[in-house]
């Protein structure tokens, strides 16, 4: 048999890069970036390349399982798909009979493939569909909505054409999106400047034109001073401000006290450095991207930091500009018709959401919702009982704070189902594990991506499933058949694809040549006059009526962060290029390259504690502690310690990952209740830990 090439979509992380997979005799030979997508440059990141090891891994769930022991005990009965789906369907029916369909909750990973899941939850008659985003980018999303009336993804980061990029709590070269990395590198080769503002010198900092180490939790002070300086020195884009910024005078009055000198005392970054940055940004405007952030679920006021970033971008005329944050086009903007939504097959249930999004919290949008408040409803039965929960491609016991507390809540459920391709803490605690075929072994529904050139793309199977696993459309169809959700009982993926493509004029065969259907020939930029925002005034709004109505200020006065108590540190975290969240530590290839995380600790702080580089230290919080190796370095702020998230696994089924490194989420006691009331996201970095040499304990 000769080598076969399949266009597909990587699924090792949330970015979902277009790939080409070479297979021979049912084995993966090579995975590369789809050569038809220039910005991929034929590359995938190390995790994308490790997809092969995921397929071969015997330590992933290989067939459906029903729990026989206590929750979390790890005693399972291996069953066939019919039995597993019957079991889940019967439990869902029982919950519906007793509490109503609204008592079923479903969460997934957001992104381009969620339409089918939404359709399923609508079909069940529950309003409780949500995703992981309260633990990730919700604050960015709501900040963008509050300023521009549009979601964050309706603005493109036009890195390729940028002249100055600012990364603040955004580590673009390690928290990877392959096309973004390539575009930024191209721009930098052409002279684009890169400023990194971070609490530690990450890899992005090592490539930056300028790195500023900021005191953790003071980014808002920095940004207010930047706004102050832009206005005070008249360096902003006046034409843009005149056309598009509403409530400009309120902003000017608000930032008066926030001078660069004031910010210096808060942030540790000198007034001179702040002024130089502002001058350089003004020189490069409007082709500037001050990245609004991605994992911005860090502080109780992170929403306001993100808002201040959108305001800075607006003052620089960057919103809507080439080389800045141009508006994404939807199919309709380029004269095409979008996919037919599967979710429309059933009406949206009229019930109120259990997480309060849209009614108890009118400034919080539905859709992604707030998973931690869904969990709160499971705990309190307020506003009503939530008794069944399907976590699809979602591991809240790893991805939300305080897993012990969350387990107590999940223990109250009548049914917890995990649909997953690898073991996870949530799967281990579930009643039923439905093993999803890894992305290389499954098709997905057609996805649509808005952008400078909107496109449709499709994930094909590169291989037949090695174990008794199924694609999500097969799982959803199987459940739908049993639950009378008749519109979703598809018998082939082509049936779904054809349904989605009906109004578009595109056919399945159009994906053959490249795996992608571009809906526009060239990128669409708009002139400053052509921009369009969805706020009540149609402009970028400094004062948001929606927030004010909830008693939340549009312009939050600055308060200094709580200092870590003597001898303690703020626990901070982030990503590395070699792992995705918590689910790749046990991947044989990636494990080999990075088997555990280390604790970054400032050299002076370490010295005063008697901690030397590479020594073992004990990290503790109240009566909980774990050990980890110290990385003693000048490259981190003395107030913080830092780890890569996702380590410290405890499942016996993951022999490699077991016991390696430290789990940051376990040092966040009470963290499910610590969140940003305006942006909705969890405030993960409001926790302190003590560190001591291991020998002293």
Q: In what order do the strands lie in the sheet with 104-108?
A: 76-78, 65-67, 432-435, 415-420, 388-392, 104-108, 129-131
Q: Cβ neighbours of residue 493 under 8 Å, at least 6 residues apart?
A: 443, 445, 471, 473
Q: Of 90-98, 130-138, 507-515, 560-568, which part binds Mo ion (CB under 5 A)? A: 130-138
Binding-site size for ligand MGD (CB under 6 A) equals 53
Query: Binding to ligand MGD by residue 461, rule CB under 6 A?
Result: no
- From the number of C-beta atoms within 10 Å of its C-beta (0-12, 13-18, 19+), residue 526 rates as middle
Name the minimum Å distance from CB 135 to ligand MGD.
Answer: 4
Cα separation, 239 vs 527, whole angstroms: 12
C-beta of 436 vs 611, nearer to ligand SF4: 436
> Closest distance between ligand MGD and the C-beta of residue 371, in Å?
10
Site residues for ligand SF4 per CB under 6 A = 10, 12-13, 15-17, 44-45, 47-48, 176-178
Q: Binding Mo ion by CB under 5 A: which of 49, 54, 136, 493?
A: 136
- d(CA 512, CA 508) in angstroms, rounded, equals 7
**Strand extents, DSSP E, 89-219:** 104-108, 129-131, 164-168, 193-198, 210-213
Residue nearest to ligand MGD (CB): 574
Q: Does 633 bind ligand MGD (CB under 6 A)?
A: no
Task: Write the binding mask 419 to 438 for ligand MGD: x where contact by CB under 6 A, - elsewhere.
Answer: -xxx-x-----------x--
What is the three-state SS of 317-365?
Answer: CCECCCCCECECECHHHHCCCCCCCHHHHCCCCCCCCCCCECCCECCCC
> Min. distance of Cβ 542 from ligand MGD in angstroms?
23
Q: Which two tokens stand for residue 227?
A: 């706004």
- CA–CA separation, 152 and 168 (whole Å): 16
* Cα distance between residue 332 and residue 519, in whole Å: 10
Among positions 114-133, residues that touch ligand MGD (CB under 6 A) are 132
Instruction: Enumerate residues 464-483 that contact ligand MGD by CB under 6 A.
Output: none
Residue 645 as a binder of ligand MGD (CB under 6 A): the answer is yes
DSSP state at residue 465: -
Rounded to the nearest 10 degrees, the angle between the axes of helix 260-267 and helix 219-232 is: 170
Instruction: Report residue 396: phi and psi, to 5°.
Output: -60, -25
- Closest CB to ligand MGD among residues 139, 572: 572
What is the sign, positive or negative, of the torsion defined by CA atoms of 83, 86, 91, 94?
A: negative
Binder of residue 16, out of ligand MGD, ligand SF4, Mo ion, none (CB less than 5 to 8 A by kind): ligand SF4
451 and 328 Cβ atoms separated by less than 8 Å: yes
From residue 194 to residue 213, the character string flagging contacts with ligand MGD as x (rule: CB under 6 A) and all else as - is: ---xxxx-x-----------
Among 428, 456, 569, 573, binds ligand MGD (CB under 6 A): 573
One residue of 574, 661, 679, 680 binding ligand MGD per CB under 6 A? 574
CB of 440 to ligand MGD, least distance (A): 10
- Report the alpha-carbon distance of residue 108 to residue 130 in Å, rounded: 7
CB of 461 to ligand MGD, least distance (A): 13
Q: Is 219 in the site for ligand MGD (CB under 6 A)?
A: yes
655 C-beta neighbours (distance < 10 Å), count = 12
Encode burial over 438-461: b for 16+ CB neighbours within 10 A, e otherwise: bbbbbbbbbbbbbbbbbbbbbbbb
Q: Which is nearer to Mo ion, 461 or 575 (CB)?
A: 575
Q: How far is the CB of 46 from ligand SF4 (least distance, A)?
A: 8
Given Mo ion, ligand SF4, ligand MGD, none, residue 687, with its beta carbon under 5 to 8 Å by kind, binds none
Stretches 143-151, 306-314, 368-376, 569-577: which one binds ligand MGD (CB under 6 A)? 569-577
Question: If binding is defined by CB under 6 A, does position 51 make contact with ligand MGD?
Answer: no
187 Rama class: left (phi>0) / alpha (psi -120 to 50) / beta: alpha
Least CB distance to ligand MGD at residue 211 (A): 11
Q: Which of Mo ion, ligand SF4, ligand MGD, none sits in contact with 260, Cβ below 5 to 8 A by type?
A: none
Q: Give the binding site for ligand MGD (CB under 6 A).
A: 11-14, 109, 132, 135-136, 168-171, 174-176, 197-200, 202, 214, 216-217, 219, 294-295, 298, 393-395, 399, 420-422, 424, 436, 439, 572-575, 577, 579-583, 642, 645, 664-665, 684-685
Q: Give the binding site for Mo ion (CB under 5 A).
A: 136
């Amino acid at each position: 048999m000769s080598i076969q090439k399949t266009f597909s979509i990587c699924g090792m992380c949330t970015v979902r890069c277009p790939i080409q997979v070479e297979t021979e005799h049912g084995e993966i030979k090579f995975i590369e970036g789809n050569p038809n997508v220039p910005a991929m440059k034929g590359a995938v990141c190390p995790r994308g390349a490790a997809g092969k090891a995921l397929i071969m891994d015997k330590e992933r769930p290989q067939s459906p399982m029903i729990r026989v022991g206590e929750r979390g005990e790890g005693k399972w009965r291996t069953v066939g798909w019919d039995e597993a789906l019957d079991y889940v369907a019967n439990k869902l029916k029982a919950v519906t009979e007793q509490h109503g369909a609204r008592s079923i909750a479903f969460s997934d990973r957001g992104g381009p493939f969620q339409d089918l899941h939404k359709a399923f939850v609508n079909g069940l008659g529950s309003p409780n569909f949500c995703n992981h985003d309260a633990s990730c980018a919700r604050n960015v999303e709501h900040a963008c909505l509050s300023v521009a009336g549009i979601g964050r993804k309706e603005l493109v980061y036009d890195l390729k054409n940028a002249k100055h990029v600012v990364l603040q709590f955004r580590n673009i070269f390690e928290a990877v999106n392959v096309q973004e990395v390539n575009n930024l590198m191209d721009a930098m080769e052409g002279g684009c400047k890169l400023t990194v503002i971070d609490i530690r010198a990450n890899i992005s900092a090592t490539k930056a034109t300028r790195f500023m180490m900021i005191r953790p939790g003071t980014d808002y002070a920095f940004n207010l001073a930047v706004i102050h300086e832009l206005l005070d020195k008249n360096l902003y884009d006046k034409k843009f401000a005149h056309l598009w910024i509403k409530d400009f005078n309120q902003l000017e009055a608000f930032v008066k006290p926030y001078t660069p000198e004031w910010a210096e005392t808060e942030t540790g970054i000198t007034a001179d450095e702040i002024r130089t940055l502002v001058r350089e940004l003004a020189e490069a405007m409007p082709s500037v991207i001050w990245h609004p952030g991605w994992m911005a679920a860090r502080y109780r006021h992170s929403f306001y930091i993100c808002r201040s970033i959108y305001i800075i971008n607006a003052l620089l005329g960057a919103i809507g500009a080439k080389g800045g944050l141009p508006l994404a086009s939807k199919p309709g903007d380029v004269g095409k018709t979008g996919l037919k939504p599967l979710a429309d097959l059933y009406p949206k249930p009229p019930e109120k959401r259990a997480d309060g999004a849209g009614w108890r919290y009118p400034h919080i949008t539905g859709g992604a919702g707030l998973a931690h408040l869904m969990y709160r409803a499971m705990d309190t039965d307020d506003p009503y009982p939530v008794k069944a929960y399907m976590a699809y491609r979602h591991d809240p016991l790893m991805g939300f704070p305080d897993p012990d507390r969350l387990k107590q809540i999940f223990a109250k459920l009548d049914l917890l189902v995990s649909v997953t391709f690898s073991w996870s803490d949530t799967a281990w605690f579930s009643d039923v594990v439905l093993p999803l075929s890894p992305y290389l072994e499954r098709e997905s529904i057609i996805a649509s991506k808005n952008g400078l050139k909107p496109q449709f793309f499709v994930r094909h199977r590169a291989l037949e499933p090695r174990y008794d696993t199924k694609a999500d459309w097969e799982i959803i169809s199987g459940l739908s058949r049993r639950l009378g959700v008749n519109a979703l009982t598809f018998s082939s993926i082509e049936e779904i694809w054809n349904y989605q493509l009906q109004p578009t004029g595109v056919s399945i065969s159009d994906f053959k040549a490249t795996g992608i259907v571009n809906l526009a020939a060239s990128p669409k930029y708009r002139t400053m006059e052509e921009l369009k925002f969805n706020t009540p005034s149609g402009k970028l709004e400094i004062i948001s009526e929606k927030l004010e109505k909830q008693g939340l200020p549009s312009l939050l006065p600055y308060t200094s962060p709580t200092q870590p108590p003597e001898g303690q540190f703020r626990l901070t975290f982030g990503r590395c290029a070699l792992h995705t969240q918590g689910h790749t530590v046990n991947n044989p290839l990636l494990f080999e390259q990075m088997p555990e995380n280390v604790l970054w600790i400032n050299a002076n702080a370490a010295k005063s504690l008697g901690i030397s580089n590479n020594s073992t230290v004990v990290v503790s919080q109240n009566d909980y502690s774990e050990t980890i190796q110290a990385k003693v370095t000048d490259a981190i702020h003395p107030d913080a310690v830092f780890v890569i998230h996702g380590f410290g696994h405890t499942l016996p089924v993951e022999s490699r990952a077991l016991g390696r490194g430290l789990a940051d989420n376990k040092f966040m006691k009470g963290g499910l209740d610590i969140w940003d009331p305006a942006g909705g996201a969890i405030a993960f970095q409001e926790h302190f830990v003590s560190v001591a040499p291991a020998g002293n304990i």
